[in-house]
Amino acid sequence: MSYSSRTDSVVPVEDDMATAETVAHTTREEYVRMVEAGAFEGRRVELIDGVIYERMTPQQSPHASAIRRSLRALQEIFPLDEYVVDVQLPLDLSSRDMPEPDLAVVLREATDYYASHPAGAVLVVEVSDTTLRHDRKKGRTYARAGIQDYWIVNVARDVLEVYRDPAGDAYRRQQILHRGERIAPLGRPDAPIAVEDLLPIRP
């Protein structure tokens, strides 16, 4: 089976998600078949609201640094016998959504999710530099899936954006935190993290 018509309609992450209105929509089942057939080999793609998005620009070092720092910070407070901190791995959230967030704290599972991807997360973290508009709009997907705690490490503005209390496709509580402040994940309310431990180290 040829998937060229579908792969031709992949939307760059760096574009406004409004572009998605002009492309063909894809179900999770179709998307998984395309991935298994090698349609996106060597490409970083994800399914958001039925649209396949691809990150077109190379990952810059501040973005990668923030992922590493955030990973360390989360692994220090979430017990590894109860939780796993996934890095850029799929979440199976709905029939139209299979995002691959930069970081997701999921409950540990006996088979390490051999049969299927996690269907939720205790905390989702996106690191944003050139993709801020996309990452903010991805919040709709996470809210619809009932993700209670969604963070954006905003590298460009050097802040942490926190989204909580999902209702429909939006979060009712939003907070901006700066260096020098601390916040505890909802899943570990007794373990606050320094915002600067998530952001890249400034020279």
- The residue written with tokens 């572009």 in the block is 19
Q: What CA–CA distance (Å, rounded) separates 40 from 52?
A: 10
pLDDT over threshold 60, residue 20: no
Number of H helices, E strands in the chain: 4, 11
pLDDT value at residue 118: 97
pLDDT value at residue 185: 98
Question: Does some domain include residue 203?
Answer: no
The answer for 50, left when phi > 0, alpha when psi is -120 to 50, beta otherwise, is left
Q: What is the pLDDT of residues 84-111, one digit of tens each?
A: 999 999 999 999 999 999 999 999 999 9
Residue 102 shares a structural domain with residue 50: no
Enter the tokens of residue 56: 């077109």
pLDDT over threshold 60, residue 6: no
pLDDT value at residue 9: 58
State the CATH number of the domain containing residue 189. Answer: 3.90.1570.10
Residue 128 shares a structural domain with residue 173: yes
pLDDT over threshold 70, residue 18: no
Residue 169 shares a structural domain with residue 105: yes
pLDDT value at residue 3: 47
DSSP single-letter state for residue 23:
S
pLDDT value at residue 111: 94
Residue 82 shares a structural domain with residue 50: no
| Total structural domains within the chain | 2
Q: What is the pLDDT of residues 120-141, one digit of tens each?
A: 999 999 999 988 999 999 999 9
Mean pLDDT score across all residues of the chain: 90
**What residues are paired with 193 via a beta bridge?**
183
Residue 85 shares a structural domain with residue 30: no
pLDDT value at residue 22: 45
Q: Supply the range of the domain harboring residue 47.
A: 4-54
Residue 14 shares a structural domain with residue 94: no
Q: What is the pLDDT of residues 23-78, one digit of tens each?
A: 668 999 999 999 999 998 888 899 999 999 987 777 899 999 999 999 999 999 99
Q: What CA–CA distance (Å, rounded) separates 50 from 25?
A: 5
Question: Does some domain include residue 31?
Answer: yes
Residue 125 shares a structural domain with residue 165: yes
Question: Does some domain include residue 67?
Answer: yes
